[in-house]
């Protein structure tokens, strides 16, 4: 919850030692600036760590907060949002909207127990291949230091088509006793079941 | 082709049998790109993995091939579509910005909707940026899985067809803009040429000679200016600026402000008597680079097009004091109109060519060279005017006092270029320009010439031959970047001179050269307002401020914005031949569009599903194009497809999920995230997070039951 994330990752059952922890990072790029910066980094053979996996959106303004929560729920250790520099948006001003959403979502994510360092925003113009590569390297190192995202790993692998509300009620619903929460999950997080559950569609 | 095709080793195709789910049948194609991808990514393993592990996702066949974009490569795809009944294609190769169109076209050739083909980048985003082969192979698998999950949600789309308005807007009346204008106008199409100055001609009009042929610049430029000014297809809008650009390829609406000239263009016959009679002399900082004077009513130079002068309002005695009107009194055609106001024009055009050129590097920034402090230090543009027979000295190369002929002249290359303190890039034209100056000094004076260069860059037709010629003419070339230009003498023979302090790197010694005159060969810089201009036209520019081309080599005059082209120095320093070629090239690109009459646009648009819209109007304020309107009667919002640019911000903003984005739907993106996170960094399945809900175990039990 705190911004001061533990430098050493909490020991996770069966997890590799911190030294060899390789995070998986989802990076959202915009079609006009940052995706092109990634292309340029490629053309110029600028090296960066292979931990980031990029998704192309037309604009950073397209970034639905659900996408970020989905990435965390699916096992990403961090999410990187990239776009054109403020004032240089291909769609005039939509990256400002992305910036607003980013700041709100940053707080939501912190409330969900995710260190803010796992959700970062980087501007890169189409000409800044090297800058983007450097930022990816920086974020990778920071996330490596944070360790794996310590949301509890579970075995619910197929909830498609399951009526979660009914299942919830079947367990006694909100009136039930708070259960043991493995993995140090804050019981407050029960309140967050909706976004996460929806994200996991 | 077929012979090539048969070379495909049988082992390169792995068949995964029939899909488990529904009727989705996906073909996966992994490109080697020679060794560009295969040198780092184990492409055969990626294809094998996809066939084995993505079977449930509908992957029917996964192949790898040396060059997927080659004809035999494309045939692999088209044959499989026909023979295996594929209805989705994923090609893992280079950036979609390069070959998406290639594979979509191939897909369409085989009878499948082109939008059911996805290209994922395992070259620019993987093999070219990573060195760890194992990690790069894992990443390629993840990227591919993302593409497979996404393509499952792709829907057949049909491109939006728009009409192309045959009129074109050319912004900037320098040689590049003029060249583009004339190509288009001669082909029979309407051109609006907008120029912010009072005359077209640009920087070239200020030059005396052009390298390497030493053609008189005016002699080759002015006929083109006159043609542009009188061409029936050209609407020349000088003293005008583009204020706003709306719309999209084929259908731009451009707002142009035509500044008040205070002279009626339809009445003025260009006789010039007003300029003669005007009592107010003004230092001409623009065309004469501060070396000459003009009047308050003026045309920038004698051969200006149009001939109609403008009144420089801040300097006009009438506007200042309320009396004078000398120009009005003497004007025989009653063309002077002090009440004129700016007019705002709205132009409808199909394409736009931006040719706004460059600014000269401000040599004052290099204080060690003393420009602005030491009178006999000149900039390149000042020298152009000095040596120009129509210039302020009628072509006499003299010192700042206006009479003394210099006995020695130093020419300093790379001023503001190839300099980490200013601009890293080479301005491309300065070496040749400096050589031209050396020749002109020789032609006009008896002076000894010293050329201070870092490296001589004379690539171009006839350029090195010109260098050889100047060497033979007897210029002295010193390899070294001057450290300082000073008037502080150390020895008697330095008294009253400008001294160049330089390390001669060929001798390996500090040397001092006393001279009478110094010419600083200033570099080229983007226009001061380059970034605002880029925003106005929806194009991007580099960190320096030069406009970015669609592809620096293969598409040098197109930009990422369909229908907006660039020509000349707006995209980087260029000499006259290159600028002219780019102007013509941009015109050719536009002519192609005009000839097509209609153009297909990417069907990436947002749509409101009225049945889900609650009428909250949150989306209404999201759209910078005002494409979203609210229907008061029905109480729902709707999107104008023609105005929607497809950014998707409203899609993300809609709290009810009532807006869907074609091509980048929630379903597609969420599925792609799932695919990208199918495997971890080590290649094993990534554990999905269990939902942090209370009673998790009970829920799990309920789910199992």
Task: Say yes or no for a CB contact (<8 Å) between A62 and B560.
Answer: no
Q: Which residue has the higher pLDDT, B189 or B693?
A: B189
What is chain B's mean pLDDT, rounded? 92
Chain B CB contacts of A36 under 8 Å are 97, 540, 560
Q: Fill in the DSSP letter of residue B17.
A: -
Mean pLDDT, rounded, for B568-583: 97
Task: Say yes or no for a CB contact (<8 Å) between A90 and B540.
Answer: yes
B51-60: per-residue pLDDT in tens? 999 999 999 9
Task: Say yes or no for a CB contact (<8 Å) between B690 and A159.
Answer: no
Chain A CB contacts of B667 under 8 Å are none
Task: Say yes or no for a CB contact (<8 Å) between B95 and A33.
Answer: no
The pLDDT value given to residue B348: 98
B312-325: per-residue pLDDT in tens? 999 999 999 999 99
The pLDDT value given to residue B683: 92
The pLDDT value given to residue A174: 60
Task: Say yes or no for a CB contact (<8 Å) between B680 and A187.
Answer: no
The pLDDT value given to residue B91: 97
The pLDDT value given to residue A159: 54
Q: Which residue has the higher pLDDT, B458 or A191?
A: B458
B652-662: per-residue pLDDT in tens? 999 999 999 99
Task: Say yes or no for a CB contact (<8 Å) between A45 and B548.
Answer: no
Starting at the earlier edge strand, list the strands of the sheet with B517-522: B377-379, B517-522, B408-415, B448-453, B476-479
pLDDT band at B254 (very low <50, low <70, confident <90, very high): very high
Q: In whole angstroms, what separates CA A106 from the centre of its chain? A: 10
B418-442: per-residue pLDDT in tens? 999 999 999 999 999 999 999 999 9
The pLDDT value given to residue B482: 97
Task: Say yes or no for a CB contact (<8 Å) between A74 and B681.
Answer: no
Mean pLDDT, rounded, for A123-140: 94
B134-149: per-residue pLDDT in tens? 999 999 999 999 999 9
Q: Is pLDDT at B378 greater than 90 in this prediction?
A: yes
Taking the domains of chain A in order of start, what are their residue ranges?
A: 25-186+193-199
Which residue in B540, B652, B690 is closest to A154 by CB distance? B690
| Window B:684-703, CB contacts with A under 8 Å | 686-700, 702-703
The pLDDT value given to residue B654: 94
Examine residue B252 and say whether the peptide bond preceding it is cis (omega within 30 degrees of 0): no
The pLDDT value given to residue B538: 84
Chain B CB contacts of A186 under 8 Å are 692
Give the Cα separation of B295 and A113 in Å (integer).
72
- Please report where in the chains the tokens 């004698």 appear, as a residue: B302
Distance to chain A for B446, nearest Cα, Å: 48
Which residue in A64, A90, A154 is closest to B666 by CB distance? A64
Q: Which of A58, A162, A169 would you mutate first to test chain B, the one with the most B CBs within 10 A?
A: A58
What value, to the nearest 5°, has the Cα angle with vertex B407 and ends B402 and B411? Answer: 90
* DSSP symbols for B365-389: G-GGGTBTTBTTEEEHHHHHHHH-T
B134 → chain A, closest CA residue: A50
The pLDDT value given to residue B141: 97
Distance to chain B for A121, nearest Cα, Å: 17
Q: Where is average pLDDT lowest: A126-140, B6-20, B455-469, B563-577?
A: B6-20
Q: Fill in the DSSP letter of residue A181.
A: -
Q: Is pLDDT at A167 greater than 80 in this prediction?
A: no
Task: Say yes or no for a CB contact (<8 Å) between A152 and B649.
Answer: no
pLDDT-above-70 percentage for chain B: 94
Name, in order, each residue with C-beta under 8 angstroms of B444's C-beta and a sequence gap of 6 or more. B387, B395, B396, B397
B486 and B371 Cβ atoms separated by less than 8 Å: no
Beta-carbon count within 10 A of B356 CB: 28
Q: What is the CA radius of gyration of chain A?
A: 18
The pLDDT value given to residue B77: 96
> How many residue pairs from chains A and B have C-beta atoms closer than 8 A?
257
The pLDDT value given to residue A4: 43
Helices (H), ranges, chain A: 34-43, 65-73, 94-111, 129-146, 164-170, 193-199
Chain A CB contacts of B553 under 8 Å are none
Task: Say yes or no for a CB contact (<8 Å) between B126 and A50.
Answer: yes
The pLDDT value given to residue B535: 84
The pLDDT value given to residue B15: 38
The pLDDT value given to residue B2: 33
The pLDDT value given to residue A153: 53
The pLDDT value given to residue B205: 95
B32: nearest Cα among B24, B42, B22: B42
Q: Which residue has the higher pLDDT, A163 or B47?
A: B47
Q: Is pLDDT at A2 greater than 70 in this prediction?
A: no
The pLDDT value given to residue B560: 83
A38 and A126 Cβ atoms separated by less than 8 Å: no
B535 → chain A, closest CA residue: A88
The pLDDT value given to residue B512: 97
Task: Say yes or no for a CB contact (<8 Å) between B645 and A151.
Answer: no
Give the Cα separation of A65 and A73 in Å (integer).
12
Considering the segment(s) A25-186+193-199 as one domain, its CATH architecture is 3-Layer(aba) Sandwich (3.40)
B87-97: per-residue pLDDT in tens? 999 999 999 99
Q: Is pLDDT at B481 greater than 80 in this prediction?
A: yes
Which residue in A58, A128, A176 is closest to B648 by CB distance? A58
The pLDDT value given to residue B579: 97
Q: Which residue has the higher pLDDT, B691 or B454?
A: B454
Chain B CB contacts of A86 under 8 Å are none
Chain B CB contacts of A161 under 8 Å are none
Which residue in B131, B622, B693 is closest to A47 by CB distance? B131
The pLDDT value given to residue B235: 97
Give the Cα separation of B651 and B661 in Å (integer).
6
Distance to chain A for B153, nearest Cα, Å: 14
> What is the phi/psi pair of residue A196, to 5°?
-65, -45
Mean pLDDT, rounded, for B304-316: 95
pLDDT-above-70 percentage for chain A: 65
Mean pLDDT, rounded, for A50-79: 94
The pLDDT value given to residue B692: 47
A98 → chain B, closest CA residue: B649
Task: Say yes or no for a CB contact (<8 Å) between B691 and A196.
Answer: yes
The pLDDT value given to residue A13: 44
- Please report where in the chains the tokens 């001092």 appear, as a residue: B512
Q: Is pLDDT at A36 greater than 90 in this prediction?
A: yes
ipTM of the complex: 0.75
Give the Cα separation of B654 and B6 in Å (integer).
52
pLDDT band at B703 (very low <50, low <70, confident <90, very high): low
Mean pLDDT, rounded, for A101-129: 92
pLDDT band at A157 (very low <50, low <70, confident <90, very high): very low
Task: Say yes or no for a CB contact (<8 Å) between A167 and B96.
Answer: no
Q: Which of A62, A81, A147, A166 would you mutate first to test chain B, the one with the most B CBs within 10 A?
A: A62
B672 → chain A, closest CA residue: A55
Chain B CB contacts of A159 under 8 Å are 703
Any chain A CB within 8 A of the CB of B119?
no
Chain B CB contacts of A164 under 8 Å are 699
Q: Is pLDDT at A196 greater than 70 in this prediction?
A: no
Give the Cα separation of B252 and B256 in Å (integer).
12
Which residue in B131, B542, B677 is closest to A74 by CB distance? B677
| Window B:340-399, CB contacts with A under 8 Å | none
B669 → chain A, closest CA residue: A67
Name, in order, each residue with C-beta under 8 angstroms of A116's C-beta and a sequence gap of 6 or more. A3, A106, A109, A110
The pLDDT value given to residue B702: 65
pLDDT band at B11 (very low <50, low <70, confident <90, very high): very low
Which residue in B131, B548, B677 is closest to A127 by CB distance? B548
Q: Is pLDDT at B508 greater than 80 in this prediction?
A: yes
Chain A CB contacts of B646 under 8 Å are 58
Q: Is pLDDT at A17 greater than 60 in this prediction?
A: no
Which residue in A62, A73, A200 is closest to B664 by CB distance? A62
Task: Say yes or no for a CB contact (<8 Å) between B692 and A196.
Answer: yes
Which residue in B538, B649, B687 is closest to A94 by CB distance? B649
B331-377: per-residue pLDDT in tens? 999 999 999 999 999 999 999 999 999 999 999 999 999 999 999 99
B699 → chain A, closest CA residue: A167
Task: Say yes or no for a CB contact (<8 Å) between B540 and A59.
Answer: no
């Amino acid at each position: 919850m705190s911004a001061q994330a533990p430098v050493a990752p909490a020991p996770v059952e069966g997890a590799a030692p911190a030294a060899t922890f390789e995070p998986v990072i989802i990076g959202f790029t915009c079609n006009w600036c940052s995706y092109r910066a990634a292309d340029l980094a490629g053309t110029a053979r600028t090296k960066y760590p292979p931990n980031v996996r990029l998704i192309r959106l037309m604009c950073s303004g397209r970034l639905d907060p659900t996408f970020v929560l989905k990435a965390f729920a699916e096992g990403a250790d961090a999410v990187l949002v990239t776009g054109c520099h403020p004032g240089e948006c291909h769609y005039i001003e939509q990256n400002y909207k992305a910036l607003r959403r980013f700041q709100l979502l940053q707080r939501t994510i912190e409330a969900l127990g995710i260190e803010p360092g796992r959700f970062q925003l980087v501007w890169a113009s189409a000409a800044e291949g090297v800058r983007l590569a450097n930022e990816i390297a920086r974020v990778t190192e920071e996330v490596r230091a944070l360790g794996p995202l310590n949301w509890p790993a579970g075995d619910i692998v197929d909830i498609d088509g399951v009526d979660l509300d009914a299942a919830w009620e079947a367990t006694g619903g909100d009136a039930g006793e708070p259960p043991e929460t493995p993995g140090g999950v804050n019981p407050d997080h029960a309140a967050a079941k909706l976004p996460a559950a929806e994200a996991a569609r | 082709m077929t012979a090539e095709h048969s070379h495909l080793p049988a082992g390169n195709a792995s068949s995964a049998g029939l899909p488990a789910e529904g009727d989705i049948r996906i073909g996966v194609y992994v490109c080697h790109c020679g060794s560009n991808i295969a040198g780092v990514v184990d492409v055969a393993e990626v294809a094998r993995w996809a066939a084995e592990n993505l079977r449930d996702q509908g992957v029917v066949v996964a192949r790898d091939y040396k060059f997927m974009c080659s004809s035999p490569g494309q045939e692999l795809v088209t044959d499989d579509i026909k023979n295996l009944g594929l209805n989705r294609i994923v090609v893992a190769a280079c950036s979609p910005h390069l070959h998406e169109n290639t594979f979509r076209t191939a897909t369409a050739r085989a009878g499948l909707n082109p939008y059911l083909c996805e290209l994922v980048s395992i070259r620019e985003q993987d093999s070219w940026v990573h060195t760890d082969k194992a990690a790069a192979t894992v990443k390629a698998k993840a990227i591919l899985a993302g593409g497979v999950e996404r393509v499952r949600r792709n829907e057949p789309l049909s491109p939006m067809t728009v009409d192309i308005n045959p009129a074109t807007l050319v912004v900037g009346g320098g040689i590049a803009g003029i060249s583009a204008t004339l190509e288009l106008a001669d082909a029979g199409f309407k051109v609006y040429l907008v120029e912010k100055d009072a005359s077209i001609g640009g920087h070239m009009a200020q030059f005396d000679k052009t390298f390497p042929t030493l053609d008189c610049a005016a002699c080759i430029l002015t006929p083109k200016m006159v043609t542009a000014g009188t061409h029936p297809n050209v609407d020349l809008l000088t003293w005008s600026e583009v204020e706003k650009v709306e719309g999209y390829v084929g259908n731009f609406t451009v707002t142009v402000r035509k500044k008040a000239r205070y002279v009626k263009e339809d009445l003025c016959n260009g006789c010039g008597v007003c300029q003669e009679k005007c009592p107010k002399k003004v230092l001409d900082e623009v065309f004469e680079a501060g070396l000459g004077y003009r009047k308050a009513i003026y045309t920038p130079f004698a051969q200006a097009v149009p001939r109609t002068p403008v009144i420089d309002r801040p300097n006009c005695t009438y506007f200042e004091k309320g009396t004078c009107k000398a120009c009005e009194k003497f004007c025989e055609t009653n063309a002077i109109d002090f009440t004129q106001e700016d007019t705002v024009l709205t132009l409808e055009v199909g394409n736009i060519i931006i040719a706004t050129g460059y600014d000269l590097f401000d040599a004052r920034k290099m204080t060690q060279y003393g420009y602005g402090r030491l009178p006999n230090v000149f900039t390149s543009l000042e020298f152009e005017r000095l040596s120009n027979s129509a210039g302020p000295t009628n072509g006499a190369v003299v010192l700042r006092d206006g009479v003394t002929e210099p006995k020695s002249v130093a020419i300093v290359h790379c001023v503001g270029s190839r300099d980490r303190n200013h601009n890293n890039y080479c301005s491309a034209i300065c070496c040749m320009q400096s050589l031209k100056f050396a020749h002109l000094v020789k032609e006009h004076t008896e002076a000894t010439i010293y050329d201070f260069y870092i490296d001589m860059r004379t690539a171009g037709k006839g350029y090195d031959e010109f260098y050889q010629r100047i060497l033979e003419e007897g210029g002295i070339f010193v390899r070294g970047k001057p450290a300082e230009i000073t008037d502080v003498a150390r020895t008697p023979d330095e008294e009253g001179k400008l001294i160049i302090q330089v390390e001669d790197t060929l001798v390996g010694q500090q040397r001092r050269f006393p001279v009478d005159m110094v010419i600083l060969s200033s570099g080229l810089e983007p226009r001061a307002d380059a970034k605002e201009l880029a925003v106005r036209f929806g194009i991007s520019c580099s960190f320096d401020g030069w406009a970015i081309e669609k592809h620096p080599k293969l598409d040098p005059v197109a930009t990422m914005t369909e229908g907006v082209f660039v020509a000349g120095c707006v995209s980087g320093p260029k000499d006259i031949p290159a600028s002219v070629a780019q102007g013509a090239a941009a015109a050719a690109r536009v002519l192609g569009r005009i000839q097509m009459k209609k153009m297909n646009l990417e069907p990436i648009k947002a749509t409101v599903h009225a049945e889900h819209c609650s009428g909250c109007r949150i989306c209404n304020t999201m759209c910078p194009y005002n494409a979203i309107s609210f229907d008061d009667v029905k109480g729902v919002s709707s999107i104008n497809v023609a105005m929607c640019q497809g950014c998707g911000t409203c899609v993300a903003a809609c709290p009810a999920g009532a807006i869907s984005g074609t091509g980048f739907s929630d379903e597609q993106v969420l599925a792609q995230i799932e695919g990208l996170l199918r495997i971890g960094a080590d290649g094993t399945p990534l554990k999905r997070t269990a939902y942090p809900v209370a009673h998790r175990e009970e829920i799990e039990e309920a789910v199992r039951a």
